[in-house]
Chain A
Amino acid sequence: MDRMPPWADAVLVPLISLLLAAVLSALVILGIGEDPVAAVKLMVTGALGSSYGWGYTLYYATNFLFTGLAFAVASHAGLFNIGAEGQAMIGGLGVALVCLAIPWPHWALALPAAIAGAAVFGALWALIPAWLQARRGSHIVITTIMFNFIAAAVLNYMLVNILRPTGSMDPATAKFPEGAHLPTLHDLLAPFGIGFSKAAPANVSLLVAVTACVLVWVLIWRTRLGFEIRALGQSEGASRYAGIPPVKTVVVAMLISGGLAGCMAINNVMGEAERLILNATEGAGFIGIAVALMGRNHPAGVFLAAILFGFLYQGGAELALWTSIPRELIVVIQALVILFTGALDNMVRMPLERLFLALRKGRRA
């Protein structure tokens, strides 16, 4: 009874939280002696003012879509998957192994194979934490954190000792064959007569990510498995009573989550770098947490949040290029978004709930 109307819960609370984060970010910019209005203007023109800027914004957004969806799916099952970073790293290994295995004739053949490789590797990396959580009760947050570090060590070993081409000093794989190069948005839009920057890295993976959004929506809200996942996340006791197998559901939810995180690699490894390098994920796995929190774990929300974070990342890079504001400003903004939309959610929610309650009482009186 003491609830708010659904629209307030879905739109008003996140919006106010976001506003608070924005105000604090502006104060931080002021604090280091820069002009927040000029900074925002520069970010908007840099990230959205040209097809080059859009190309980078969408490229980053593609990464965050995958990791955001990964976190959201696990969240629906009541699991806090902080391991998307490691799963995306190992997904990159899967993509590299697939791309280097045979001389691919065409990207249309290479892409499905690479998606499979990325998803399987990412999912397998989530399997052990999932199984330990479901069977042995080991806290999934701790195990996935540990698996992030183990993934970094595995990747380091594979790149330095095994996958590095002979004679190369660089800890990276060889360049992927020509047939495994994904078309960029420039290549995709040219046949329609739309001009798009040639240099920007946004590529066909964006379409894969958007498809993944739709599939996740169908999975969570339109299938029996999705219902089971949500039921388990809401109440383990009730779902067990309803005959939903908890171990299986936890493991399957984490496999899907890990697979989605792994799929990020088709964008950053196959689409952009076209070879596997150390630290290819650049923290995108953790940004997925912010994206999912802001998007309220709904694919549509995740989509919007991913675009916003893509904008922040490209805008932040432009800021670092043209002003003395370091790129780390984006990390601060990201922290504030996580803080206000996640941890301090009740700070906004409690007064709002009281306000709506008072309004309702007033109407009845």
Chain B
Amino acid sequence: MEFMTVLQVLDSTVRLATPLLLACLAGLFSERAGIFDIGLEGKMLIAAFFSAAVAFVSGSVWLGLLAGIGASMLLSGLHGLASITFRGNQLISGVAINFLAAGMTVLIAQDWFAQGGRTPSLIGAARFEPITLPLAETLRGVPVLGPIYAELISGHTILVYLALLCVPATWWVLFRTRFGLRLRAVGENPAAVDTAGVSVVGLRFAAVAICGVLCGIAGAYLATALQAGFVKDMTAGRGYIALAALIFAKWRPWHALYATLLFGFLQAVALRYQNIELGGLVIPVQLMDALPYILTVVILAGFVGKAIPPRAGGEPYVKER
């Protein structure tokens, strides 16, 4: 394989890993606080639609991003209402949110734009444009390092860099601040947090809100940076892959980065090559598609290090009276 080909595959790995990473970190906040969230997919989808729709109408991608975050947070609020306030089943709520987003996006898109459930293509300022980092073109001539800098590190949209920054930020918030300590505690032992006089409900809603913001950015990235506009079901299972990555990372921020890069790499390879020949053995493209899920099941099975979720995950907290 040529050096440039490798660079191109890695470049598209970064692009494809970004929405996974954002959604994975979103799930990380929620699940660390004890709220299971299989509605990542739906939140990304609704954010993708509203960001594209508002960006198209207003011509400003930043307004689009805000609209996407807002829509995603609305669904987050619904999830919080169902699973925190009314102590409902978090899994059922997540399933409902995914369907709600899948239906509503097409319904509204058809009503607003009448283009068969999609938004018109975004152009110009309605999209996030790639940023060329300083000196990228000047340094391109430098052997090996030059192309790596120009192709792989430079030339992404701002959301990619933002997503990468979210990793240390998440680590810092969760493991170096009082809020993070309490948030993790609420996912392990909410009764203890309650005894200390801290609001369990408040903390969990905060976690769910952060989850909404990150999912919103992920959705906006899909519709306004990775692609130019919203199409029906454009998340295509990315929310579930993010969920898989979260387990793969065992609910830790830095590992979430590695896991999503790995899954992004698998997607990039599957996108570029149909069938891969390895020493006479043909690996079908379907295996590449299924590999993230298979790897996750193997991790879950505990054969390669056990993935233990936060202890109070999925259980509504009933305050003692």
Chain A positions within 8 Å of B, measured between CB atoms, are 28, 31-33, 80, 82, 128, 132, 136-139, 141-143, 145-147, 149-150, 153-154, 156-157, 160-161, 286, 289, 293, 324-326, 328-336, 338-339, 342-347, 350
Contacts and interface: CB of A to CB of B under 8 A. Distances in A.
Contact of B117 (A32, A143, A328): A328
21 contacts: A32-B110, A132-B301, A138-B301, A138-B307, A141-B36, A142-B243, A143-B297, A146-B240, A157-B287, A324-B114, A328-B102, A328-B117, A330-B103, A331-B99, A331-B106, A333-B103, A335-B102, A336-B96, A342-B95, A343-B83, A345-B86
Contacts of A325: 107
Majority DSSP secondary structure for residues of A touching B: helix
A145 B240 contact: yes
Nearest to A347: B86
B289 interface: yes
Contacts of A128: 297
Given A132-B301, A326-B117, 18 more contacts: A137-B302, A138-B297, A138-B300, A150-B294, A153-B286, A156-B289, A289-B95, A326-B106, A328-B103, A328-B106, A329-B103, A335-B99, A343-B88, A343-B89, A343-B96, A344-B86, A344-B93, A346-B87
Given A332-B104, A339-B93, A149 B88 contact: no
B96 A338 contact: yes
Contacts of A138: 297, 300-302, 307
A333 B102 CA distance: 11
A83 to B, nearest CB: 12
Which of B82, B111, B286: most chain A CB closer than 10 A? B286
Contacts of A32: 107-108, 110-111
A330 B99 CA distance: 10
Interface residues of B, number: 49
Given A33-B111, A328-B106, A149 B96 contact: no
Contact of B96 (A33, A132, A150, A335): A335
A36 to B, nearest CB: 14
B96 A342 contact: yes
Contact of B290 (A33, A153, A160): A153
A342 B296 contact: no
Given A28-B107, A153-B286, A324-B110, A346 B86 contact: yes
A146 B244 contact: yes
B88 A342 contact: yes
Given A153-B286, A157-B286, A335-B100, A343 B92 contact: yes
Majority DSSP secondary structure for residues of B touching A: helix
A103 to B, nearest CB: 30
7 nearest A-B pairs in the assembled complex, by CB-CB distance: A331-B103, A335-B99, A332-B103, A343-B93, A153-B290, A342-B92, A335-B100
Given A136-B302, A138-B301, A329-B107, A156 B286 contact: yes
B91 interface: yes
A332 B100 contact: yes
Contacts of B293: 146-147, 149-150, 153
B89 A342 contact: yes
B122 interface: no
Contact of A339 (B36, B82, B289): B82
Contacts of A333: 103
A67 B5 CA distance: 46
B106 to A, nearest CB: 4
B120 interface: no
B202 interface: no
B309 A139 contact: yes
Given A33-B111, A157-B284, A331-B99, A343 B38 contact: no
Contacts of B289: 149, 153, 156
A149 B288 CA distance: 12
Nearest to B246: A142
Interface in B261-319: 284, 286-287, 289-290, 293-294, 296-297, 300-302, 307, 309
A142 B247 contact: yes
Given A138-B300, A324-B110, A153 B93 contact: no
Interface string B95-134: 1111110111011101100100100000000000000000
B109 to A, nearest CB: 9
A336 B100 contact: yes
A74 to B, nearest CB: 12
B243 A145 contact: yes
A293 B92 CA distance: 9
Nearest to A153: B290
B278 to A, nearest CB: 17
Contact of A147 (B87, B110, B297): B297
A345 B85 CA distance: 12
A346 B102 CA distance: 25
B245 to A, nearest CB: 12
Interface in B135-180: none
Contact of A332 (B107, B297, B300): B107
Contacts of A339: 78, 82, 93, 96-97, 100
Given A343-B82, A347-B86, A150 B290 contact: yes
A145 B91 CA distance: 12
